[in-house]
Structure 1
């Protein structure tokens, strides 16, 4: 057991990391409209149309599964590392005369750890994936810069019986 007297801060600092966050964006977000339409057809269809042949394209359920897989396969996980106010200011000073938007692309591109992107690629990404998904990238960047790192298990299913350790 390590005590305060024999704690090696230098060894600890060698493995220290900055706060980072990740966000998933989707290349094929437009498939959601097709999935919505198929969901409605499934909810209103007869059982044999849901699980059986449907106009040569397979069952409605299999069509839905195929589109859902295409959507999920288009996922891109972006990892962003936090930046201090001093680092953001240094980027602004190193790039004078830019608009706030242009400086934002430079700052976020600098913070993205994977996949590596240039500010121009990030601007194109923003245009292609749309404002809603891009705002999620910005939000995760701000979280990495300002929030204290913490682990949350709130998303995990709760156990339902006392025997399982539940309530």
Structure 2
């Protein structure tokens, strides 16, 4: 016998009882959570301590009254967790991406000598500033930013704040955030195999 899962509303067995607007209103875009750490120097400290422990497990001895290596590792992990931000990002539509690209600043295309290349109309050729567009796109995709230390959240981040984050931490630590935004544009195109009904 086929039954409808409890979290899915029954819109009716006949076409007249089906409210497609209600069905659409229950939908949600693909989302993903991405963690970014503020204090990346702690990762180096963590790796150093783990290596030290691996090389000499006997060194993890508290008999001399010193803090053990394991305790130091736990402390570093706790400090890393306190320095994290969790970004919740959702997929943007093609129309939204196009609108962002149209608003993004442009810069001249330069030749090998650093001079602006000219188009057939004699005017300098330009292209969209891809770095700025990336910041704009990521900022638009963020629907929540949560502080790992306090649990407090904000529903947005500005393009300027996102750029400052990227410049301060570097491209590496923020790469996961930008990659997630890009991948979400393709999310949902391949439908997973989900049972269409349940047998009871």
Would you call these one fold, judging by a TM-score over 0.5? yes
On the 8 A contact 2:35/2:85 being kept in 1, the answer is yes
Equivalent in the alignment of 2:112? none
Greater radius of gyration (CA):
2
1:146 match: secondary structure: coil
- List gaps (5 residues or longer) in structure 2: 5-9, 107-127, 146-155, 193-200
> How far apart, CA to CA, are the structure 2 residues paired with 1:136 and 1:66?
25
CA offset at residue 53 of structure 1?
Answer: 4.7
> How far apart, CA to CA, are the structure 1 residues paired with 2:185 and 2:171?
21
Q: Which of 121, 129, 153 is 1:99 aligned to?
A: 129
On the 8 A contact 2:32/2:89 being kept in 1, the answer is yes
Go from structure 1 to structure 2 and tell me whether the alpha carbon gap of 1:4 and 1:28 turns closer, same or farther (over 3 Å shift).
farther
Structure showing the higher helix proportion among its residues: 1
> How far apart, CA to CA, are the structure 2 residues paired with 1:88 and 1:63?
45
Q: Comparing 1-10 with 98-107, which one deviates more in the overlay?
A: 1-10
> How far apart, CA to CA, are the structure 2 residues paired with 1:57 and 1:124?
39
Q: Does 1:136 align with 2:176?
A: yes
1:71 match: secondary structure: helix
On the 8 A contact 1:57/1:63 being kept in 2, the answer is no
Equivalent in the alignment of 1:50? 60
Query: Cα RMSD over matched residues?
Result: 2.3
Q: Alignment length, in residue pairs?
A: 149
Equivalent in the alignment of 1:16? 27
On the 8 A contact 1:21/1:143 being kept in 2, the answer is no
> How far apart, CA to CA, are the structure 2 residues paired with 1:96 and 1:37?
43
> How far apart, CA to CA, are the structure 1 residues paired with 2:102 and 2:70?
55
> How far apart, CA to CA, are the structure 2 residues paired with 1:135 and 1:20?
17
1:8-157 equivalences in 2 (<5 Å): 8-45=19-56, 47=58, 49-53=59-63, 57-97=66-106, 99-115=129-145, 116-148=156-188
Q: Deviations over 1:25-53 (max 9, x none)?
A: 11122211111111122223353x41415
Go from structure 1 to structure 2 and tell me whether the alpha carbon gap of 1:18 and 1:117 turns closer, same or farther (over 3 Å shift).
same
> How far apart, CA to CA, are the structure 1 residues paired with 2:57 and 2:100?
60
Q: Comparing 117-126 with 132-141, which one deviates more in the overlay?
A: 132-141
TM-score (norm 1): 0.77
